[in-house]
């Protein structure tokens, strides 16, 4: 039984769905491998200090997205809505937007309101810059302590892109709106900017630790929801949880000493937060993959060495050594094992490039994203995979299921939404990414750095060992 | 710096205190923009009602969000088909929005019906479908003729009202099925269970009680729902409507068109569950039936009462906050909490009406805060002011409770615990007891501060702490 799964079959070179709709699915989606764009924008805004996200659309969007985020992070996630009614859809959302901004100001005293559109307001063609300009210009009847927050708008029609693209769009909007807006004569220190992408709070904390090991404490993470979405128990009610990238940090991004933007797929996107800082303020930009695996972490370390002028710290070198040592210890358990990897494009790219180092064959890499960049991002970072694996964009679980019989995977890696499939196949699911709705500790799943990779690697190896043990008639306790 | 938590001026009229004079609770209105309502939308109302129909295809016509967020989240169980647990969406893209989504909808329906062979299909319209002007009804009619199964449009555009309007749209779609099936072999002692969604098998529990009384349950609408059962449910002699908000519209229509009377009931808590059985016995008449109802109640209560009494000793005098969707559930919970020795100090709903709030004012102890369409800041404020030990709500309310060191019981559709019927009361008591009496509260900052014990290390300083 276990022997057949050890053989590596030559695989047809296939890249699907890169342009337009996938030929098998011109008619919609079965069990999606993506969420809508405003969700990603809300998540990004939650990583800004004192920020409250506000969705310009129906009440349901905010409520559904809140529930989805709360179930993953197990933290309060307050998202306001402009709460469209039929009248609003006919006459426009000006009044609702202005009332909502007043009420968010009154209730939350925010430092920033992140306004994301929805499919409804986008289809109506709401002129957001104009509506927000009018709001800024008008005198508002607000309590004095509700000082006017920064208003950052991002366009997130849910009929375009996924939650991942919504996330990146919001990060770009935040940086575009605030970088370089400090008052004249301000002398903030020059910091290292990191755009980490959609990673866990634990990984955000780890990125700080990682840089601290290089002696680099002046880090601006955008966004940084490491505390806002994984905070301690409260003694009193807190309107906006502490933590997050501060407005001052965002303003000072214009003179960051360098910017590191993480994500293999994001690295070839035409306009990002990083490219904005580079073009407008000449901030040196390093576009890298998510640091998962030896190669991606080596590249990350090279960029850090360049940005800080320091050499690889001993502690990090030791972590790298241990990771490589475990690769060796486990290589026979993993040889030829077939994995299906699904989720956000940058996450699956990072995971795939890492898996290729270990002997696991990522036979199918699927993302709901459809930007035409995924396959090339993977093959550039892991050329040995070219012509060996399937990469599918615009994919969903309906499509993945159709490929199961032929691919016969030993393992699934991705969100908890793959559980049903893993269960029906009787193969392990290694949970990571978003959402993880059926386990505790989604906020604390580590993937990044040599140390994070180590944790992921151990989980993968042990999941396969456990499956082997469970499917054995004998049940050895010594493997 | 501490600042009082502010109630928005436009929200003040939606909050009252039991035992205090004053006008009725402002309710039944659209949520205040920017208030962070806990409500959802019209689509949510429709989706919630129709979702458990297990052998139907549920196709969400719109961009991906609405379908994704409602994919296999709920605890509604099926004894057979699992088709309903999939998420089907037309996943509208930019070009579809520009050129219209009708063709894509038609292709999707044709492909999915051929593949999954459902007994019926529901097509949910979402926000932008209402804007781009797709004629969903026409597509449904065409596909119905072509495939031979009912293909039913559900007018659930998110912005066209509140969740209640979504319930109504779902009832309208259901009504098109009712009256199209064969009603022979339906007992004169027969009922439909409406507004129970078979969360964690609850419909099965309730069905079994009635069957022990010799009463036939024709259709459960929509828990463990089947299209064929719904088609013939007009053959039942009585409709029992639980979750009155979602199904009263349908019950009224069935009364008008098919002459079937209905009764509002609740299956939560010993009192309400017993009352439901007695009401049905009374409706059909005869001492024998009433004896059977009494026997069910006696047997079931005997099974759970000793344990409930033991928990009651621990829970006596503890206080609860209740925030749920519909008012009938709130009534039941106030009573069920009393059975456990607890007092309801805060109670609110998303969709209650003026009568519902008057009832709550009468049944709750003086000082209880009663609120319509609340939000996280208000709920936190009330919980702190009333110093509650337990919050009963859904996933969206859970972090408010946990962050403030308050126990929690999930009574929403996502739960996977059976809380209906007598066995449900036992489960409810167990869950409440497990949460309220947990040792973890000894360590959380708010409770520790109250006891005057200083933590070893201070919690991180927040920008703003609120008294």
DSSP labels, B135-198? -HHHHHHHHHHHHSS-EEEE---TTSS-HHHHHHHHHHHHHHHTT-S--TT--SSEEEEEEE--
Coil vs helix vs strand at A477: coil
Half-sphere exposure of A160 (CA within 13 A, CB side): 14
- The answer, for B379 touching chain A at a CB cutoff of 8 Å, is no
Model pLDDT, residue A6: 38
**Domains observed in chain A:** 4-33+325-470 (3.40.50.1980), 34-178 (3.40.50.1980)
* Residues of chain B positioned with their CB less than 8 A from the CB of A81: 31, 33-34, 36-37
**Cβ distance of A97 and B33 shorter than 8 Å:** yes
Q: Which residues face B393 on adjacent strands?
A: B410
Question: Which regions in chain B score pLDDT beneath 70?
Answer: 1-3, 452-467
Q: How far apart are CA A265 and CA A272, in angstroms?
A: 12
ipTM, two decimals, is: 0.95
Residue entry with tokens 């400090």: A182
Model pLDDT for residues A4-26, shown as the tens digit of each residue = 333 334 444 456 654 444 444 46
DSSP reduced 3-state for A237: strand
pLDDT in the model for residue A16: 61
Q: Is B131 in Cβ contact with A124 (below 8 Å)?
A: yes
- Of B432, B443, B328, B421, the closest CA to residue B388 belongs to B432
pLDDT < 50 stretches in chain A: 1-13, 18-25
Tell which A residues from 45 to 84 touch B, by Cβ distance under 8 Å. Answer: 49-50, 54, 57-68, 70-71, 74-84
What is d(CA A342, CA B200) in angstroms, rounded to the nearest whole number?
Answer: 30
Query: Domain limits of chain B?
Result: 9-25+304-450, 42-176, 190-295
Query: B190-295 — its CATH code?
Result: 3.40.50.1980
User: Which residues 192-211 on chain B approach chain A with CB closer than 8 angstroms?
Assistant: none
For residue range B298-334, list pLDDT tens digits in order. 999 999 999 999 999 999 999 999 999 999 999 999 9
What is the distance between the alpha carbons of residues B384 and B401, in angstroms, rounded to a whole number? 10
pTM of the prediction? 0.95
Q: Which residue of A has its CA nearest to B378?
A: A107
CB proximity list for B128: less than 8 A, separation 6 or greater: A119, A120, A123, A159, B62, B63, B92, B97
Q: Which of B64, B101, B442 to mutate to test the interface with A (most CBs of A within 10 A)?
A: B64
Rounded to whole angstroms, how far apart are CA atoms B418 and B421?
A: 8
3-state secondary structure A116-181: EECHHHHHHCCCHHHHHHHHHHCCCCCCCCCCCCEEEEECCCCCCCCHHHHHHHHHHHHHHHHCCC
What are the backbone dihedrals phi and psi of residue B361, each rounded to the nearest 5 degrees, phi first? Answer: -60, -35
pLDDT in tens, B186-211: 999 999 999 999 999 999 999 999 99
Query: Considering only alpha carbons, which residue of chain B is nearest residue A30?
Result: B88
Output the pLDDT for position A96: 97
Nearest-by-CA chain A residue for B166: A60
Distance set, CA A154 to CA A254, A309, A451, B230, B439 (Å): 20, 36, 35, 45, 45
Among B314, B326, B272, residue whose Cα is nearest residue B407: B314
Round to whole Å and give the CA distance between A248 and A251: 5
Chain A (218-237) residues lying within 8 Å, Cβ to Cβ, of chain B: 227, 231-237
- Are the CB atoms for A422 and A429 separated by under 8 Å? yes
Burial of B381 (0-12, 13-18, 19+ CB in 10 A): buried
- The neighbour count for residue A163, using CB atoms within 10 Å, is 29
Query: What pLDDT is stored for residue B451 in this prediction?
Result: 72
Report which secondary-structure segment, H or E, holds B328.
helix B327-339
SS3 content of chain B, % helix, strand, coil (to 5): 50, 15, 35
Euclidean distance between CA atoms A354 and A357, whole angstroms = 5
> In b/e form, how buried is each residue of A415-427, taking b as 16+ CB within 10 angstroms?
bbbbbbbbeebeb
d(CA A314, CA B410): 49
Give the separation between CA B216 and CA B186, rounded to whole angstroms: 8
pLDDT of residue A229: 98
Which SS3 state, helix, strand or coil, does residue B302 take?
A: helix
Instruction: Determine the Cα–Cα distance for residues B395 and B38; give it in Å rounded to an integer.
Output: 10
Cβ neighbours of A159 in B, within 8 Å = 63, 92-94, 96-97, 128
Residue B8 to residue A227, Cβ atoms within 8 A? no
Window 239-258 of A: residues touching B by CB (8 A cutoff) are: 239-242
The span from the CA of B175 to the CA of A314, in Å, is 71
Look-up of token digits 């109640």: B297
B112 vs B126: CA distance, rounded Å? 19
**CATH number assigned to the domain covering B9-25+304-450:** 3.40.50.1980
Which strands form A29-30's sheet, in the order they lie side by side?
A29-30, B88-89, B56-61, B120-125, B151-154
Q: Give the containing element (helix H, strand E) for A259.
A: strand A258-262
Determine contact, residues B60/B70, Cβ cutoff 8 Å.
Answer: yes
Fold observed for domain B42-176: Rossmann fold (3.40.50)
Return the pLDDT at A384. Answer: 97
CB pairs under 8 A between A and B: 273
**For residue range A346-364, what is the model confidence (pLDDT) as tens digits?**
999 999 999 999 999 999 9
CA dihedral B52, B54, B60, B63 (to 10 degrees): 80
Cβ separation A232–B3 shorter than 8 A:
no
How far is Cα A84 from Cα B299, in angstroms, rounded to an integer? 51
């Amino acid at each position: 039984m276990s022997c057949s799964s050890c053989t590596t079959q030559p695989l047809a070179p296939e890249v699907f769905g890169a342009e337009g709709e996938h030929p098998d699915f011109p008619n919609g989606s079965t069990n999606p491998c993506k969420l809508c764009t405003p969700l990603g924008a809300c998540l990004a805004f939650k990583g800004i200090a004192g920020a409250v996200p506000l969705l310009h659309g129906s009440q349901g969007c905010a409520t559904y997205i809140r529930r989805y985020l709360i179930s993953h992070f197990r933290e309060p996630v307050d998202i306001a809505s402009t709460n469209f009614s039929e009248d609003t859809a006919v006459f426009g959302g000006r009044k609702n937007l202005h009332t909502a901004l007043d009420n968010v100001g009154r209730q939350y005293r925010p430092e920033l309101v992140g306004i994301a559109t929805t499919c409804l307001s986008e289809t109506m063609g709401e002129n957001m810059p104009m509506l927000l300009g009018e709001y800024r210009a008008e005198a508002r009847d607000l309590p004095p302590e509700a000082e006017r927050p920064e208003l950052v708008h991002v366009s997130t029609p849910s009929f375009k892109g996924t939650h991942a693209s919504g996330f990146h769009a919001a990060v770009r909007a935040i940086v575009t709106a605030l970088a370089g807006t400090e008052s004249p004569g301000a002398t903030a220190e020059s910091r290292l900017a990191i755009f980490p992408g959609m990673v866990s709070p634990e990984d955000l904390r780890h990125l700080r630790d990682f840089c601290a090991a290089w002696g680099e404490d002046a880090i601006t993470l955008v966004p940084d929801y490491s505390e806002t979405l994984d905070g301690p128990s409260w003694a009193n009610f807190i309107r906006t949880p502490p933590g997050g990238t501060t407005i001052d940090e965002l303003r000072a991004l214009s003179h960051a000493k360098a910017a590191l933007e993480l994500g293999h797929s994001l690295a070839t996107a035409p306009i990002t937060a990083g490219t904005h800082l580079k073009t407008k303020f000449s901030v040196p930009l390093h576009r890298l993959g998510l640091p998962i695996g030896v190669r991606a972490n080596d590249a990350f370390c090279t960029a850090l060495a360049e940005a800080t002028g320091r050499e690889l710290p001993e502690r990090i070198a030791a972590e790298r050594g241990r990771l490589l040592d475990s690769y060796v210890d486990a290589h026979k358990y993993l040889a030829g094992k077939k994995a299906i990897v699904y989720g956000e494009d940058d996450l699956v790219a990072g995971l795939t490039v890492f898996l290729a180092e270990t002997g696991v064959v990522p036979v199918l890499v699927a993302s709901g994203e459809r930007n035409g960049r995924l396959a090339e991002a993977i093959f550039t970072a892991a050329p040995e995979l070219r012509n060996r694996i399937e990469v599918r964009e615009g994919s969903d679980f309906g499509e993945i299921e159709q490929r199961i019989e032929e691919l016969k995977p030993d393992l699934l890696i991705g969100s908890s939404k793959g559980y049903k499939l893993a269960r029906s196949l009787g193969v392990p699911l290694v949970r990571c990414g978003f959402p993880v709705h059926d386990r505790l500790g989604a906020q604390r799943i580590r993937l990044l750095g040599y140390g994070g990779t180590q944790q992921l690697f151990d989980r993968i190896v042990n999941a396969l060992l456990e499956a082997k043990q469970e499917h054995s008639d004998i049940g050895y306790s010594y493997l | 710096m501490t600042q009082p938590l502010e109630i928005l001026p436009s929200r003040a009229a939606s909050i009252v205190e039991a035992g205090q004079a004053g006008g009725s609770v402002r309710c039944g209105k659209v949520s205040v923009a920017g208030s962070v309502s806990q409500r959802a939308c019209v689509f949510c109302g429709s989706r919630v009602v129709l979702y458990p129909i297990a052998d139907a295809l549920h196709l969400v016509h719109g961009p991906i969000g609405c379908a994704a967020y409602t994919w296999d989240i709920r605890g509604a169980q099926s004894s057979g088909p699992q088709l309903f647990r999939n998420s089907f969406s037309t996943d509208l893209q930019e070009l579809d929005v520009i050129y219209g989504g009708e063709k894509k909808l038609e292709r999707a329906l044709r492909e999915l019906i051929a593949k999954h062979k459902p007994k019926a299909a529901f097509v949910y319209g979402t926000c932008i479908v209402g804007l781009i002007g797709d004629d969903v009804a026409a597509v449904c009619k065409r596909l119905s003729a072509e495939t031979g199964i009912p293909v039913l449009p559900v007018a659930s555009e998110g912005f066209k009202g509140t969740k209640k309007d979504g319930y109504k749209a779902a009832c309208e779609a259901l009504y098109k099925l009712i009256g199209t099936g064969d009603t022979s072999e339906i007992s004169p002692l027969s009922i439909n269970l409406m507004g129970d969604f078979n969360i964690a098998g609850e419909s099965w529990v309730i069905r079994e009680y009635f069957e022990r009384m010799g009463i036939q349950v024709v259709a459960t609408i929509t828990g463990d729902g089947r299209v064929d059962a719904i088609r013939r449910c007009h053959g039942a002699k009585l409709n029992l409507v639980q979750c009155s908000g979602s199904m009263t519209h349908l019950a009224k229509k069935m009364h008008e068109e098919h002459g079937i009377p209905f009764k509002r009931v609740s299956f939560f808590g010993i009192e309400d569950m017993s009352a439901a059985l007695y009401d049905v016995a009374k409706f059909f008449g005869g001492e024998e039936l009433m004896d059977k109802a009494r026997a069910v109640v006696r047997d079931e209560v005997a099974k759970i009462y000793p344990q409930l009494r033991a928990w009651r000793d621990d829970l006596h005098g503890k206080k609860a906050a209740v925030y749920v969707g519909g008012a009938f559930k709130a009534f039941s919970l106030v009573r069920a909490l009393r059975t456990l020795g607890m007092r309801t100090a805060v109670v609110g709903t998303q969709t209650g009406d003026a009568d519902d709030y008057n009832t709550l004012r009468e049944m709750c102890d003086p000082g209880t805060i009663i609120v319509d369409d609340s939000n996280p800041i208000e709920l936190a404020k009330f919980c702190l002011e009333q110093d509650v030990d337990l919050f009963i709500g859904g996933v969206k309310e859970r972090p408010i409770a946990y962050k403030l060191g308050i126990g929690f019981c999930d009574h929403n559709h996502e739960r996977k615990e059976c809380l209906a019927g007598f066995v449900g009361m036992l489960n409810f008591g167990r869950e409440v007891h497990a949460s309220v009496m947990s040792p973890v509260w000894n360590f959380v900052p708010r409770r520790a501060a109250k006891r005057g014990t200083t933590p070893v290390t201070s919690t991180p300083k927040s920008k703003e702490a609120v008294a």
